[in-house]
Structure 1
Amino acid sequence: MPAILDLPAEQALEFELAAIVSAEQLIRRLHADRYRAVQRARALATEVAGITESSRAGDRNMATRSFVAELATTLGQHEASASRLVAEAERLTGPRIATLDALDAGEVAPTQVRSVLELTRGAPAEVADAVERVALDAAGAAVADGVVSTNADVRRRMRRVRERLMPEPLVDRRARAAADRRVCVEAAPDGMAWLSLFLEAERAFAIERRLDVLASREASDDHRTGAQRATDLAADLLLSGTLVDDPRTRDVVTGPTGAVQPRLNVTVPVLTLLGLDDEPADLEGYGPIDAETARIIAAHAPSMRRILVHPETGATLSYGREHYRAPADLDGFVRVRDGQCRFPGCNRRAERADLDHTRAWAHGGKTCSANLAVLCRHHHRLKHEAGWRVALEANGIMRWTSPAGHVLRTTPERRFEPVGAGEGVHPPDPPEPTDPPAPGASVDAEVLELLDSDLEPAPF
């Protein structure tokens, strides 16, 4: 490095750019190697699972799911990412092998590979080959003639070829694709989150245009940017169907989440709720939220449920062998404790998952908090049908062993510990709160959960 620094700036810059190109070529080759390794590993996993050409479709599907889970836990990825990697490897070592070879040669980047895979998916073989050829020709022109095309440019050309050659009318394909429309939420730092909608293009652009028009209405005392106004307007319309800054459309009194009454689980330290502390609360599905936001949500909550109090006033946490199905109080406790599916890497929320006896009821397992855990339906099936083994360790830890022998551990989201008599929270001489505590609140409680009054237990 000192020798490089002694070079004139122009030569040093040329050297560094050449080093970047070499690193990029190596990265592309490693990506290609990874795809080939994934496909080989999948074939070996199928062999380990005992799958043959005569195996049932259900058994083959379960073997694939088990391998995806194995790969996800090995790489520390979400199963959706691992599943996408497995699907990409299958196609790149099969019909799209020309793209894999171009990646290995360093002619295309991983982003261009994903564009090829996206725009050839679902297309007849001859159409997919023509679309792929557009990307490969662009890559070849860049190598031979120095003609640089961005991924966006190549995607536009591939889309045009695809639309011209696809035998099925666009209107039919669009109707089928619209069946996948959905809303996605992704947590972000500092108490924020991304909300996105996958929907028809004309509706998406119409929404954007309407928000721009509404946000263009400026008031002398409004110091928000146009982007901030558009975002606030979208939130107001989605939450209440009204615009809170427009008296002509405001016909309801809204809380912090608008006119709707969503089911929000918010775990709040009781001293925070009483205004005696500012320890953050926990919004289920997101994570920490500030104390003031938690108190605002609590003020509008239709009801509260205490989760941990002294043993003589707390929920019943064991029903032994008398009941197979967990009663409501035990069901609620386990779901709040675990927070999400207890399979390694899975983040499906507890209210959308099953309760599973870790030691099977048929084999003597009890219906108690120490033997119950939250598993989503997919991983519930993997546990019973695909060779994944699980055992309980101390402090609520679950030890998973994969079919390949990998050992992984998961912990509950909230480690509720038993509270003995006389061990409640007693802060030294706290100041009197300005507002009286909510009815039913107790300073002996460790945690409060805010729930809708009509919340039903999730399916067992």
Structure 2
Amino acid sequence: MTEATETPGGENYLATLAGIVADVSDVARQVAAAQIAELRVLAAAGRLAEEQAVQQNAKVRLHDMALRSIAAEVGGVLRTTDRTVQRRIGEARTIIEGFPAAVTAWESGRIVREHVRAIVDAGTTLPAEMWAEFEAIAIERCERETPNRVRGELEIFAQRMHPRSFAERHEEAAASRCVRLVPGRDGMSDLVATLPTVIAEGIHDRLTQQARAIVDTREERAAGSGDAAGVVASDTRTTDQVRADVFADLLLAGTPALDDTRDTSAGPLGAIRARVQVLVPAATLTGSDDGPCDLAGRFPIDPATARVLAGDTGIWERLFYDPTTGVTVATDSYRVPLGMRRFLQARDQHCRFPGCRVAAIRCEVDHTHDHALGGATKLSNLAHLCQRHHSMKQFTAWRVRQLKGGVLEWTSPLGRIYREDAPTPAVAFTPADPPPLSEPAPF
């Protein structure tokens, strides 16, 4: 292999990479065509079983027997169980017959398989007669976003379309909270807790912060004296492993085992508190709307919990973007002032690399045009990037520039352009009609 091929940015390297990308694109189209064909065949198998029952004026049980028989026949060819095939037949009929427009968009390359899965998962929470209306809007949104980024938005949209309020349905669902033990292999098991989303998110966030604190301070603690330093020096656990160990410590002993000041009232790990990032519509805060709220573009949460979080937070404030009297829009220093950070969190909501949805509170504020190269510390030159994509911007041939309105335009090493539009604003102000003369003006 030549030196030019081995050097990122070299002519041979770029030519080879372009060929790989083109091949991946071709294979992806072929795979999509095969996947759609398989879904249609499985759906046809389900319809055949239904037609058999109709012809014989059969009851539901006989229809199920026909479906089992067909599933067993197909399973023999696919070398899988009839139960698995029967489940896949049901899923195929839901996709092909329930969401035909999404399948057409997938077939034409406008969206991909995971988009369809996101549409179906969110849409099937609605009554069947509302699927077509939801599907049409969802497809349009999916054409502009990656599946993982749009999934949370589709779930919120479906929840708001539902004829029953989200608050009412959440109250019913909360009654099913539980903890389950699922035995695994090799002496391992899964402990599964079904909890309200905000509580589950908070638990995971606190465990993550504590695990990172342990991993990031290993060298410092290993340099100390005593037996503890020797134990720390031999600690090679991953973040996932530490997170699981801290989880067990907290439940069994009430304190992290590696907290050096665990005997005091507030050790460094014990003092860590969970953080969650929630977008709450103004109408929900006032109680005039009981729709779902958005947990950093990931999951819908119930309005009652969102109101409690909004009332308890110590940094609740209105954000104004006014060049003369509002939020600071620029500074001479490298450091981003707190007011600007809050504005950027509300604007960005998550990492601004295409497809990434790491919450803004877990990201770094990056100067789009490097500060060391003359980039100013101002809102039009700042955006949130997670550590992974911040590093990629710095150390690879990916380039980015910020357009008007906080839109980021990414350019890949091959020159492909990926437009990362700013998320839907978390706060919007609209003019209101003046109150009747008989009523006092609102504060």
TM-score under structure 1 length normalisation: 0.42
> Which structure's CA Rg is the greater one?
1
More helix by share: 2
TM-score (norm 2): 0.43
